[in-house]
Chain A
Amino acid sequence: MGGSPVAVRGEPLDGSLMAAVEFRRVSFSAGGQVILDQLDLSVEAGETLVLLGRSGSGKTTALKMVNGLLFPSAGEVLVDGRATTSWELIQLRRSIGYVIQEVGLFPHLTASENVGLVPHLKGWPVERIESRTRELLEQVDLSPVQFADRYPRQLSGGQRQRVGVARALAADPSLLLFDEPFGALDPVTRLELQNQFLALRDRLRKTCVFVTHDVREALRIGTRIALLDRGRLETLATPEQFLKSLGTQTRAFLAVLDGERHAKGDQPESRA
């Protein structure tokens, strides 16, 4: 297992470290198509597990099972040791941060209202929401004075995404889900946000599950990478191990890096 995950959660009775999220032989089919096929996977507290795969590999489906947007057709997904089917759904979702591509911000709410939404739903007092919102906007490098009252359409793609990250952090969840959050951004902004993500994660010690189809992104930010191919887990490895892995789909992803390296004489990036 890669690195030594920081134990921020309670331990179960048997004394072993409880996984933050655990997929137990999870299958999912829709419309006669198998999207996930007996997925076994656990996410340790404090790590960033990247779900990497091509479109249709089932990575987003797997992510949506963590906060109960979807449920397994067979098997179960455990969050904090409890199956998602036995959680009170509203409570489960409010305890997990969720970031999707920029479109997920509420267009009729300002940046600060977007950020303060979950605290608002949780019934925090107004002053506490306000101070929390300011603090979060600062954390993602958006000056509250300048940005708090702007609507999403008055923000650039990168700024919207920062608001999205701040929103996910609002109620201080220990688990965060990212569904291709930086997919729609230009490469420079993308790099900035990846760096910010790494800084925030290390400072706040969150457990993250991060979906991407970008192998460079996976290698940069993942503590472990789970490569899905047509609903099956092909490779589960740290970035270092991943580079040496021999899976066919894994090689196909790594060929992207080789292609770039040959074209430009670069070294593939890894988070060493």
Chain B
Amino acid sequence: MNRPGLLGDMLDLTGQHFVLVVASMLIAVAIGIPLGILLTRKVPLRGWVLGFANVMQTIPSLALFGFLIPIPLIGGIGKRTAIVALVLYALLPILRNTLVGILGVDPAVRESAVAMGMTGRQLLFQVELPLAARTILAGVRVATVTTIGTATIAAAIGGGGLGVFIFRGIASVDTTQILAGAIPAALLALLSDGGIGWIEKRFSAA
């Protein structure tokens, strides 16, 4: 690999990495928050769903990527499989914080909302979600930061991203390449942590 091309590769792979993370997080949020809300209403489901999300978290990430490869439709080599694995990882913190955030709303506040004649939907959107927003965002933040790190493993199954540098650097014992992957990943993580943290603080009025 010629050195002048390194910067170009870095931009390229950072872009890929970013796309992986954003796609995974969008899907994880789109599944995690509604599912979390559902769990606040359906108590019997809670143990099963949280159990599943917990088990997903305990599988070592490299193994999870490997497990998915032979599975039809969601498996195979490439980005799609990587995104499925990242979503499975990101789900738990989002799910759990949505549940905890909503269940943490003062029962007296919830009761007075019902007593004032709010419909279930109004209760959710005007009271429960605004009051749980901070906790939910904290979950999204944790999930995002972890996903940025875990996404480096996507390269192992052909998912691209900054992991490409890291795996290549390890294979060729080239510290420059490892750093070219690790530093942008760390910067991405710091930036998103700060960014989502800032949004979180905006909700501190509640």
Contact = CB atoms under 8 A, between A and B. Distances in A.
Interface string B94-115: 0000000000001011011111
Contact of B117 (A100, A103, A118, A167): A118
B75 interface: no
A132 B155 CA distance: 62
Q: Is the interface of A mostly helix, strand, loop or mixed?
A: helix
Interface stretch (A88-96, A135-143, A195-203, A240-248): A88-96
Nearest to A101: B108
B182 to A, nearest CB: 40
A103 B205 contact: no
Nearest to A88: B117
B109 A107 contact: yes
B66 interface: no
A106 B114 contact: no
Contact of A103 (B109, B119, B122, B206): B109
Give the contact-size bracket for chain B: 10 to 19
Contacts of A89: 117
Given A121-B122, A151-B205, A104 B108 contact: yes
Contacts of B119: 90
A249 to B, nearest CB: 28
B127 interface: yes
B149 interface: no
Given A69-B114, A93-B114, A121-B116, A107 B108 contact: no
Give the contact-size bracket for chain A: 20 to 34
* Residue in A98, A101, A106, A107 whose Cβ sees the most chain B Cβ within 10 Å: A106
Interface in A141-180: 151, 167
Contact of A98 (B109, B116, B122, B205): B116
A118 B117 CA distance: 8
A108 interface: yes
A1 B147 CA distance: 71
B130 interface: yes
Contacts of B111: 69, 100, 104
B139 to A, nearest CB: 19
A104 B118 contact: no
A93 B115 CA distance: 6
Given A121-B122, A151-B205, A104 B112 contact: yes
13 contacts: A90-B117, A90-B118, A92-B117, A94-B116, A98-B115, A100-B111, A103-B106, A104-B109, A107-B106, A107-B206, A108-B131, A108-B206, A167-B116
Interface of A: 67, 69, 89-94, 98, 100-101, 103-108, 117-118, 121, 151, 167
Interface of B: 106, 108-109, 111-119, 122, 127, 130-131, 205-206
